[in-house]
């Protein structure tokens, strides 16, 4: 995954956000969770970069969409409290997607900022499609 491809993914995510009428931050990380690229749209909520990073980190680290943890992150289930691990860098909130190229996990993308996390997920999907090519 290249920086150029990551920048293209940011644009794709932001284009979708504009279409939806929301302001978001998009974060692209490598398979270790290190940031490759990040963009916060003008007017996006100030905490959105941290939220987007947690979603990207979760997906890159575990190889699953961030919301795949949600069902088991409730009291009595095995992932309850997962959001407190690693200093809060893991999250079960929708908007994080893993990125695989030729079947190999190479990173993740996370989007945060919308009050409707399904919109974050749609923006992340646009970015993921660019990154997986």
Confidence of residue 93 (pLDDT cuts 50, 70, 90): very high
pLDDT the model gives residue 46: 98
Decide if pLDDT at 123 tops 80.
yes
CATH number of domain containing 79: 3.30.450.150
Decide if pLDDT at 49 tops 80.
yes
Residues 6+ apart with CB under 8 A from 26: 9, 10, 13, 14, 38, 39, 52, 109, 110, 111, 123, 124, 127
List, for residues 3-46, the tens digit of each pLDDT value: 999 999 999 999 999 999 999 999 999 999 999 999 999 999 99
**Nearest Cα residue to 133 out of 98, 108, 102:** 102
119 lies in which domain range? 3-131
Estimate to the nearest angstrom the gap between the alpha carbon of 130 and the chain centroid: 14
**Nearest Cα residue to 132 out of 92, 89, 90, 102:** 102
DSSP state of 8: H
Decide if pLDDT at 97 tops 90.
yes
Count of domains in the chain? 1
Which stretch of 63-72, 90-99, 102-111, 119-128 has the lowest confidence by average pLDDT?
63-72
Confidence of residue 58 (pLDDT cuts 50, 70, 90): very high
> Who wins on pLDDT, 83 or 37?
37
pLDDT the model gives residue 118: 97
Give CA–CA dist 58/90, Å, rounded.
Answer: 5
Average pLDDT, the chain: 94
């Amino acid at each position: 995954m290249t920086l150029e491809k990551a920048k293209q993914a940011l644009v794709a995510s932001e284009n979708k956000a504009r279409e939806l009428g929301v302001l978001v931050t998009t974060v692209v990380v490598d398979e270790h969770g290190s940031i490759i690229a990040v963009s916060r749209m003008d007017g996006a909520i100030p905490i959105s970069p941290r939220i987007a990073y947690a979603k990207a980190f979760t997906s890159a680290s575990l190889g699953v969409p961030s919301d795949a943890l949600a069902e088991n992150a409730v009291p009595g289930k095995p992932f309850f409290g997962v959001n407190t691990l690693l200093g809060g860098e893991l999250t079960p909130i929708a908007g994080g997607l893993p990125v695989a190229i030729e079947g190999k996990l190479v990173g993740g993308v996370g989007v945060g900022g919308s009050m409707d996390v399904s919109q974050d997920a749609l923006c992340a999907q646009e970015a993921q499609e660019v990154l997986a090519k």
